[in-house]
Amino acid sequence: MKLLFSPASPFVAKVRMAARHIGVSLDYVQVDAANQQDELLEANPLGKIPCLVLDSGRGIYDSKVIMREIDRKSGGKLFPTNGEALLDAELLESLADGLSDCAVAGQYELRLRPEEKIHQPWVDRQWSKVSRGLDHLNNNCPSLSGELYAGHFALAGLLGYLDLRYEGKWQGARENLVKWQSDFAKKFADYDELKPQV
């Protein structure tokens, strides 16, 4: 299987970290999603990354669907089987992905639009969602005492992206979340290699 990816994406980071952790081997093909390359469009009509291309040539897209696919390939190592723990894992992944969506959308507005066309109230609205979500996570940090699961990787991808694109803006008084990121990096030794980067 191969993963079509860009190294700055928090969604790509989530998938790459999870695959490494559960021992699912992937080949990596870096693509430029902004320029709608043929290989990406053939695998994913949305032209978005990450996109997992199976040995059959079928494209699997949206990082949540990819996480479920690599979970099946691993024999179920990425999601808890207990109902309450599974719900916690799915909610954490969903929240982290939603915050990543907002953070990425804000960056697209700032980086891709001509300066005179940037709509700052919209950027501020995206950041307010990120800020509110980070406050919630700071007050409800997920435990790292057991096995790492999908939600952990989604949150680590988000925080790595914020480090990359919003350096110094997200930490503030969120000491619990800062410590969580540090503890995650100790538990998952490949974090520095696989977190979002340029």
Tens-digit pLDDT profile for residues 21-36:
999 999 999 998 888 7
114 prior amide bond cis, ω within 30: no
The reported pLDDT for the residue numbered 124 is 95
CA proximity to 147, closest of 93, 92, 187, 97 = 187
What pLDDT tens digit does each residue of the chain (198 aa) get?
999 999 999 999 999 999 999 999 999 999 988 887 889 999 999 999 999 999 999 999 999 999 999 999 999 999 999 889 999 999 999 999 999 999 999 998 988 888 999 999 999 999 999 999 999 999 999 999 999 999 999 999 999 999 999 999 999 999 999 999 999 999 999 999 999 999
- Split into its structural domains, the chain has a count of 2
Using a CB cutoff of 8 Å and minimum separation of 24, what contacts does 124-130 make?
Answer: 126/102, 127/102, 127/103, 129/98, 129/99, 129/102, 130/99, 130/102, 130/103, 130/106, 130/162, 130/170
The reported pLDDT for the residue numbered 113 is 87
The reported pLDDT for the residue numbered 152 is 98
Query: What is the extent of the structural domain holding 181?
Result: 83-194
The answer to whether the CB of 151 falls within 8 A of the CB of 96 is: yes
Helix axes 83-112, 150-165, angle to 10 degrees: 20
Q: What is the dihedral of CA 152, 173, 185, 8, to 10 degrees?
A: 70
Three-state SS at 66: helix
Kindly report the CATH number assigned to the domain that includes residue 106.
1.20.1050.10
Do residue 186 and residue 115 come from a single domain? yes
Do residue 67 and residue 88 come from a single domain? no
Whole-number Å distance between alpha carbons of 1 and 51: 10
Asked if the structure places residue 78 within a domain, the reply is: no
Do residue 116 and residue 183 come from a single domain? yes
C-alpha distances (whole Å) from 33 to each of 7, 9, 70, 119 are 11, 11, 22, 23
Do residue 48 and residue 141 come from a single domain? no
Do residue 25 and residue 100 come from a single domain? no
Asked if the structure places residue 183 within a domain, the reply is: yes
Domain end marker among 73, 101, 130: 73
Q: What is the CA radius of gyration of the chain?
A: 17
Do residue 88 and residue 160 come from a single domain? yes
